[in-house]
Structure 1
Amino acid sequence: MTTEIGVWEIIDGKLESIDVSLAQAGKREVQDLEKWVKNNPIILGQDILIIGEQVRTKSGPLDLLGIDKSGNLIIIELKRDKLPREVIAQALDYVSDISSWDLDKVNEECIKYSQLSLEDYLNENFDDIKLEDLKVNENQRLLLVGFSIDEPLERMIEWLSNNFGVGLNAVILKYIQTKSGDEFIARTMIIPEDVEKERIRRTGNKIEPSDEPGNYEMDELKTLLQHYLAEKRATPQRIKKILLPLCLEKQVVTREMIKKELIRKEDVEDEGKAGLILTTISREIGIASRDYLRQIIEYERPNPWEKENYQLKGEYKPLIKELLEKLEI
């Protein structure tokens, strides 16, 4: 049986059903529903921030893109009336593209939407958020928003959530317009919010941080570094083209030096964007499995969340010079 919210108005001690759809009230998906959700994301759940609207993906425009306090991206698909079973395929299509986005791409969408960097926007809306501590886009959530739901879709959501821990939920709204013209929105969820949060916490991919360096023999270390620096991802390329050359040139490399070099070499617009990119470099070096990077690079920690004063260990400078020349840097 499909989930539906019934509402009655009490008039002179009698119950009168209120059954006015969004369409019947002359409300529209983009101009009305989307605006309500954008201005009041609390209706979708706790600690959700909208960072994009009509976001371009390889599968078409996504209604809204959000992020939660854990750094999970939230794909939000809105329907003015009933959520059909087909909407799940559309939403999964969106997430298959967005799951590959790096921090730079997420930041780009956030700036487009809010005119603020992701870090500034998160700090403005959430307390005690440090971007370096967030696993941005390590996991994704899907929220399907409508005013009723097909029974097969409800079954699929519960099955995927219960058996595979998929971060998928449906938010069912009820538009209410009383006889006097007052308007209300009521909400229910297929998966209770506290249950969904716990499942996301249990099944999330956790990237363990570490400051411990590796202890590889030179040949193995060379192979690991060569494979890593050959990766096409933006962060390994920046470590190869920005951080390591600076470390070969300078005894100590500060955060300000790296930001200036990012602005100079990558035509980064300002220090705010350079600071965001530096955060991704810092976080990459601190991933436990990247201990081979920490074997060659030392740094200080003026704060628990911040790395500063990078240095390339002297015994590895010839190896890094050789690798950079081989990789044509």
Structure 2
Amino acid sequence: MGTEIGVWQIENGKLERLDTNMVQAGRKETEDLEKWIENNPIILGNNILIIGEQVRTKSGPLDFLGIDKSGNLIIIELKRDKLPREALAQAIDYASDVSSWDLDKISEVCSKYSNESLEDYLNENIEDIDLENLNINETQRILLVGFSLDEALERMIEWLSTNFGISINALILKYIKTKGGEEFIARTMIIPEEIEMERSRKVSRKFIPDTTPGTYEHTELKKILESYLSEDRKTPRRIRDILLPLCINNKIVTRDMIKEKLIEENKDLDEGKAGLILTTISREITFAPRDYLRQIIQYEQTKPWEKDNYQLVEKYKNLVKELI
């Protein structure tokens, strides 16, 4: 049988089952359940910060988008009643889109929801977070929330989680209204939170950098770079306005030089936030499709996850000067 939570009220030494559900009580998913969760996200787990609500994806609006202390994004799908197995396919569809989002896109979602930058929102709401070494969206987690669970869905969640290490869980709520009119919400999780987090750490999908430079002819390279550097995204703008000018004016550009320049350009940044931004620039350069950036920018791989000592390839300096 699918998972359900039964509740009884003790009256005069007898047990009286409480079967009132949200529908019978006139409660609604969008007006009540979502509001309760938004105001008290701790019910979803100890390591979830909501950064977006009704987030638009290629497959439709996602109820909530969350993030955990490790930087993993969490797809949260709500159902006011029973969770059908179709809910899993829907959530996987959302996750497949979210998995491709870069920091600029995630920051945009967070800013719309919280009116704060992602860096500030994480810093204020997650204790002891290390922004400089945070790898955002390396892995996605799925959390299905409902009031009972289809047996087939429970079986699929257990199978995917146990055999393939997919970070997926279901949280079953129980709406309780006593005879005296008091309202309560109880919860249980199909997979204990500690076990799910441990599995998530073990199978984290690491970002695999590509170090291969492009081999474009001068005219084609200029056209590609011109298009990229004119994109209305923060990372291309930072490469255009900060990294490339530093590389033109200095033979070697260190990580510290980039962070100092970022802080100089934005007084609201501190060392940790500047480090997080630098990480996105670094990842952008080694993102497989950005081979044209690697064709003009060289660097040293000081650690498996860290780059330093950036410099422009000498023969492309005039091209870069022309473009910026």
TM range (shorter): 0.7 to 0.9
Distance 1:254 1:277 in 2: 9
Counterpart amino acid of residue 255 in structure 1:
K
Counterpart amino acid of residue 91 in structure 1:
A
- Secondary structure of the corresponding residue to residue 196 of structure 1: helix
Describe the superposition over 1:45-71 as per-residue Cα deviations: whole angstroms up to 9, x where unpaired.
112111110101110111111111111
Change (3 A) 1:278 1:198: closer
What residue is the counterpart of 2:261 in the other structure?
A: 257
Change (3 A) 1:278 1:245: farther
What residue is the counterpart of 1:190 in the other structure?
A: 190
What residue is the counterpart of 2:244 in the other structure?
A: 244
Which residue of the other structure, out of 271, 275, 280, is the alignment partner of 2:277?
280
Distance 1:19 1:117 in 2: 43
Give 1:260 deviation, angstroms.
6.8
Distance 1:119 1:83 in 2: 34
Structure 2 length-normalised TM: 0.78
Distance 1:191 1:312 in 2: 45
Give 1:246 deviation, angstroms.
2.5
Q: Does the Cα contact within 8 Å between 2:133 and 2:276 map onto a contact in 1?
A: no
Give 1:124 deviation, angstroms.
1.0
Distance 2:194 2:310 in 1: 46
Q: Does the Cα contact within 8 Å between 2:76 and 2:143 map onto a contact in 1?
A: yes
Give 1:317 deviation, angstroms.
5.4
Gapped regions of structure 2 (runs ≥ 5): 288-293
Gapped regions of structure 1 (runs ≥ 5): 210-220, 264-269, 301-305
Change (3 A) 1:282 1:82: closer
Give 1:281 deviation, angstroms.
3.2
Change (3 A) 1:239 1:317: same
What residue is the counterpart of 1:160 in the other structure?
A: 160
RMSD: 3.7
Q: Does the Cα contact within 8 Å between 2:259 and 2:278 map onto a contact in 1?
A: no
Distance 2:76 2:313 in 1: 48
Change (3 A) 1:135 1:123: same
Distance 1:159 1:168 in 2: 10
- Secondary structure of the corresponding residue to residue 56 of structure 2: strand
Distance 1:225 1:77 in 2: 41
What residue is the counterpart of 2:317 in the other structure?
A: 321
Give 1:297 deviation, angstroms.
4.8
Q: Does the Cα contact within 8 Å between 1:139 and 1:205 map onto a contact in 2?
A: yes
Q: Does the Cα contact within 8 Å between 1:240 and 1:324 map onto a contact in 2?
A: no
What residue is the counterpart of 1:217 in the other structure?
A: none
Give 1:224 deviation, angstroms.
2.7
What residue is the counterpart of 2:121 in the other structure?
A: 121
What residue is the counterpart of 1:88 in the other structure?
A: 88
Q: Does the Cα contact within 8 Å between 1:79 and 1:145 map onto a contact in 2?
A: yes
- Secondary structure of the corresponding residue to residue 77 of structure 1: strand
- Secondary structure of the corresponding residue to residue 121 of structure 1: helix
What residue is the counterpart of 1:175 in the other structure?
A: 175
Give 1:78 deviation, angstroms.
0.5
Q: Does the Cα contact within 8 Å between 1:122 and 1:129 map onto a contact in 2?
A: yes
Distance 1:286 1:65 in 2: 22
- Secondary structure of the corresponding residue to residue 20 of structure 1: coil
Counterpart amino acid of residue 224 in structure 1:
P
Percent identity at matched positions? 58
What residue is the counterpart of 2:53 in the other structure?
A: 53
Q: Does the Cα contact within 8 Å between 1:238 and 1:281 map onto a contact in 2?
A: no
- Secondary structure of the corresponding residue to residue 185 of structure 2: strand
Number of corresponding residues: 297
Map 1:269-308 onto structure 2 (within 5 A).
279-282=276-279, 284-285=281-282, 296-297=298-299
Q: Does the Cα contact within 8 Å between 2:131 and 2:275 map onto a contact in 1?
A: no
- Secondary structure of the corresponding residue to residue 213 of structure 2: helix
Q: Does 1:104 align with 2:104?
A: yes
